[in-house]
Chain A
Amino acid sequence: ETGVTQSPTHLIKTRGQQVTLRCSSQSGHNTVSWYQQALGQGPQFIFQYYREEENGRGNFPPRFSGLQFPNYSSELNVNALELDDSALYLCASSLAALAGGYEQYFGPGTRLTVT
């Protein structure tokens, strides 16, 4: 059984650019959630995908978008990057029905720096 993986590990982008972050779910999991964790803060929920559909969203603007693929891997896309987007981006997978799942397993994260 493989755990949750994320790529890339680190990324440096310039303000105004676009970025795509990737996540592979733990084997057998059909739900992926994405979080933004600024330095010294708790993770902030961005959105959740269940069976390729967005299934819940936090207070993030539309320039944060996502996809989930048939194999349940996922992408987080951020357009028009701002300096405040610099953070650790975490994805978490779970096996869930529409209730939103129980235990989540987190990936190692992608550290995004916007300059």
Chain B
Amino acid sequence: ELKVEQNPLFLSMQEGKNYTIYCNYSTTSDRLYWYRQDPGKSLESLFVLLSNGAVKQEGRLMASLDTKARLSTLHITAAVHDLSATYFCAVGNFNKFYFGSGTKLNVKP
């Protein structure tokens, strides 16, 4: 079964700092997703990455995909408190989807 590992699981950072969340997966996949989840809420789609070398950016978040290394990164630039949430990566493999355990991000004002 495909495994998805995220690290770190918890991240506490100061506003204005940069950081990267890593997502490794165990077997070939044709697409990778990043989601945000606020406490008690559903999942909000951030990025869908479909090919090797894909890079997408939205505001202070940038996601990239390296299919050869089976690695995706979510880079946070100049963090602000509003980015505090849990971030999940998910991998699509045929008609099944596999989520990581999530990275709980706390940005301190």
Assuming A102-B50, A103-B45, is B94 touching A42 (CB within 8 A)?
no
Assuming A42-B99, A102-B31, is B41 touching A108 (CB within 8 A)?
yes
Interface residues of B in 35-65 (CB under 8 A from A): 35, 41-45, 48, 50
Interface residues on B, range: 20 to 34
Assuming A42-B88, A90-B42, is B48 touching A102 (CB within 8 A)?
yes
- When C-beta atoms are compared, the residue in chain A nearest to B1 turns out to be A59
Interface size on A, residues (CB 8 A): 28
Q: Does A48 contact B (CB under 8 A)?
A: yes
Chain A residues contacting B42 (CB-CB under 8 Å) are 90, 106-109
Contacts A35-B99, A45-B99, A55-B95 supplied; 9 other A-B pairs, CB < 8 Å: A42-B4, A42-B99, A42-B101, A43-B90, A44-B99, A57-B96, A98-B95, A100-B95, A108-B41
> Using a CB–CB distance below 8 Å, which chain B residues touch chain A?
1, 4, 30-31, 33, 35, 41-45, 48, 50, 88, 90, 92, 94-102
